[in-house]
Amino acid sequence: VKHYLQQIETHKNLNVFLEVYADEALKQAETVDQKIKDGTAGRLAGMVIGLKDVLAYENHGLQASSKILNGFQSQFTATAVERILAEDAIIIGRQNCDEFAMGSSNENSAFGPTLNFADPTRVPGGSSGASAVAVQADMCLASLGSDTGGSVRQPAAFCGVVGLKPTYSRVSRWGLIAYASSFDCIGPITKTVEDAALLLEIIAGADEHDSTVSHTSVPAYSENLAPKKQYRLAYMREALESEGLDEDVRKNTAVKIEQLRAAGHIVEAVDYPLMKYLLPTYYILTTAEASSNLSRFDGVRYGHRAAGVKNLEQLYKKSRAEGFGAEVRRRIIIGTFVLSADYYDAYYTKAQRVRRLIKESTDEILSKYDFLISPTTPTPAIKIGEKSDDQLQMFLMDIFTVQANVIGNPCISIPNGENSEGLPIGIQILGKNFDEAEMLAFAKSLE
């Protein structure tokens, strides 16, 4: 704990932690130490973990990096956090992120951007950007983040660490601030696949607080990481041929594909003509769900309340206008638009149908292959401010990551080398539903 506290202090300029629980973590460490001596310690004894500021931890601040939740303290603990604590993990603090997990660069935080440790003039990715930097810069051993459209995997790729999005419903969402409920997944960011496997095995599984969570039994992922000799892998032609793909990312991915073939795996290109519908489907449905989820932040029930208003309507309007940042306001407006009576069928219903098509067509590929592989992101980390004025360019950074959330499947990003400037590049592996065990075993074989 002392080591990590020192690292946090040394790299303060990266703007990673919104709050550090120094005294508490040191105390927790003493308790765990005693348990280790007594032989009663849990499976995560001494594992120092940071929490993205969207995960509830009783009597600790929680605000999704938003002004609207200024001063808010959680009255209960998220199930995932509860479970790691029960195994004697030590929580070191809460981490910056894009406001309400909306973003791809960690620049949409009310607390300012987090910087990438590999190059502090660049973004760490988002929305769990700080959670990835915390692991990258050794400020904790692992972080818990959330992935709605890539927010665990994309920053993991930009920071050269491992990011795991489990199957939708594998992990209870109780205590996770909702962004888009049918997409949101809690996932670990770690240095190794083995750590990701261990954390998943502890946070996954049935929970009486979340009626959508799966009752499928949870395998001991971390104890079954031996890969098969040969896997069948597909990659989407459209992904590797896409115009916006950075040359170094293309090269590293192609080299990896050749290495996989040389190692005896079957790697084949498949056509995926629906690729161009991934982002529109994702952004129509997630903004719709977000506009509904964020209606609870009204200036009455939580956090920030505007002063000097004359009636209830003014209170709502002023509190929300003052409390939400520009990106969150934009998404609420898009969401209410696609859900409005006149446009519901044209956008929302249609996007739901396309979501089904994307699911069926991807499952079709996965019926012939074990995994679908692709670069995690089309480029390495961008410069701070490089795309903040161009929303479409920003959305394009999620082109490869949103598919897993649209269909619910598990997906992991692992490091795949660097470009000539030393910027990390990631590769992601998308698996069959609830087939995390095989996906993790394969991912580990690539480390």
Interface ranges with ligand GLN (CB under 6 A) = 101-104, 127, 146-151, 179, 286, 398
Say which of 52, 256, 432, 444 is annotated catalytic.
52
127 noted as active-site residue:
yes
Nearer to ligand GLN, 282 or 369 (CB): 282
Instruction: Determine contact, residues 75/100, Cβ cutoff 8 Å.
Output: no
Detail the DSSP E strand segments found in 53-133.
Answer: 90-95
Burial of residue 2, with CB atoms counted within 10 A of its CB: 0-12 exposed, 13-18 middle, 19 or more buried: exposed
Min dist. Cβ of residue 85 to ligand GLN (A) = 24
Q: How many CB atoms lie within 10 A of CB 206?
A: 13
* Residue given tokens 């519901």 in the structure block: 344
Instruction: Determine contact, residues 362/390, Cβ cutoff 8 Å.
Output: no
Say which of 127, 128, 222, 413 is annotated catalytic.
127
Alpha helices in 165-236 (DSSP H): 193-203
Nearest-CA neighbor of 93 among 137, 57, 133? 57
SS3 164: strand
Min dist. Cβ of residue 177 to ligand GLN (A) = 11
Nearer to ligand GLN, 91 or 185 (CB): 185
Nearer to ligand GLN, 172 or 222 (CB): 172
Indicate the pairing of strand 90-95 with strand 162-165: unpaired
* Residue given tokens 């499952």 in the structure block: 363
Min dist. Cβ of residue 82 to ligand GLN (A) = 22
Instruction: Please compute, for residue 209, the number of CA atoms within 13 A of its CA located in the half-sphere on the CB side.
Output: 12
Nearer to ligand GLN, 65 or 127 (CB): 127
Min dist. Cβ of residue 101 to ligand GLN (A) = 4
* Residue given tokens 């930009």 in the structure block: 158
Nearest-CA neighbor of 80 among 39, 99, 52? 52
Min dist. Cβ of residue 15 to ligand GLN (A) = 19
Where residue 299 falls (left for φ over 0; alpha for ψ -120 to 50; beta otherwise) is: left
Min dist. Cβ of residue 148 to ligand GLN (A) = 3
Min dist. Cβ of residue 147 to ligand GLN (A) = 5
Nearer to ligand GLN, 28 or 151 (CB): 151
104 noted as active-site residue:
no
Residue nearest to ligand GLN according to CB distances in the complex: 151
* Preceding omega of 292 cis (within 30 degrees of 0): no
Nearest-CA neighbor of 274 among 357, 169, 198, 157? 357
Say which of 151, 169, 291, 374 is annotated catalytic.
151
Nearer to ligand GLN, 398 or 436 (CB): 398
383 noted as active-site residue:
no
Detail the DSSP E strand segments found in 278-431.
Answer: 371-375, 411-418, 424-430
Nearer to ligand GLN, 98 or 370 (CB): 98
Q: How many CB atoms lie within 10 A of CB 224?
A: 13
Instruction: Please compute, for residue 289, the number of CA atoms within 13 A of its CA located in the half-sphere on the CB side.
Output: 19
Residues tagged active-site: 52, 127, 151
